[in-house]
Amino acid sequence: MTFEKTVGIPNVVLVQPSIYGNDNSCLLDALKAIGPHHGRGVVGIDPDAPVDSGMLKEWHELGVRGVRLNLKSTNVNFTEQSLQGMLEKYARIVKPLGWILELFIGMEDILVLEKVSGTLGVKLCIAHFGAPRLPPMHVRAQPFDPYDMHGFRALVSMLGRGDVWVKFSAAYRFDGDAEMRGIEAIARELLARAGDRVVFATDWPHTRFDGLDVRPFVERYLQWTDEAGLTEKVFTLNARELWDVGDQ
């Protein structure tokens, strides 16, 4: 919690790093230390392994509320059919617990995700603004229409369903522009279209960006949400709904 205190965050959601695979021991130990009053967790699991319902219930009591799928940085190859099959396996496991599926997926693949996810019956959370593939810098220097990006319209459509959220996180992974003009265009449109389905995340510990000062990014997020009149929703209320947090 030391880092979170530097940016004024009293409650956290810990997400299983891909490098740890399905070994959630570190995350679970951290949840035990934080306690369910201040902590939630998103784990990694093997959907083809036998389901241990007792273990999952124990995790739930610790604060686990979701399972993460990394379909982006792990270069998972999938078709519409195979993605649907994969998501259905996970959904069958998490649905009885009311957990979320958190997806790190490239925006170029969200159109496929939209086609196969509507009947899963579970909440989805899309990480990192939908992992956009931004146009060249000279294009972003001009008024930038995010709908020109393949997959953005599908992301907006999914957010309108009511069972899908998106994280405002890790802008620096996709936009090297100090002014963040590409991400800003995306953020403002998502706030305008689906402000009640946006949550903030720090992306700490900023893997591959050692020494990053995240505070300038947090300040920009606050600027965008303040101007949209959505700061309390994005930084507090939406997250409470998504991660099953009662009044504190």
Q: Which tokens in the block code for residue 81? A: 């059919």
pLDDT the model gives residue 210: 79
Please tell me the class of the 72-243 domain: alpha beta
* E strands present in the chain: 12-15, 39-43, 64-70, 100-104, 123-126, 164-168, 198-200
pLDDT at 5 over 80: no
Which region among 9-13, 83-87, 180-184, 200-204 has the lowest average model confidence (pLDDT)? 9-13
Mean pLDDT for 171-198 is 90
53-to-9, 57, 59, 195, 236 alpha-carbon distances in Å: 32, 6, 10, 35, 31
CA dist 73 and 93 (Å) reads 24
Rounded to two decimals, the pTM is 0.91
Give residue limits of the domains in the chain.
72-243
- 122, HSE (Cβ side, Cα atoms, 13 Å): 25
Sign of the CA dihedral running 140, 145, 151, 154: positive
pLDDT at 207 over 90: no
Q: Checking DSSP bridges between strand 198-200 and strand 164-168, what pairing results, if any?
A: parallel
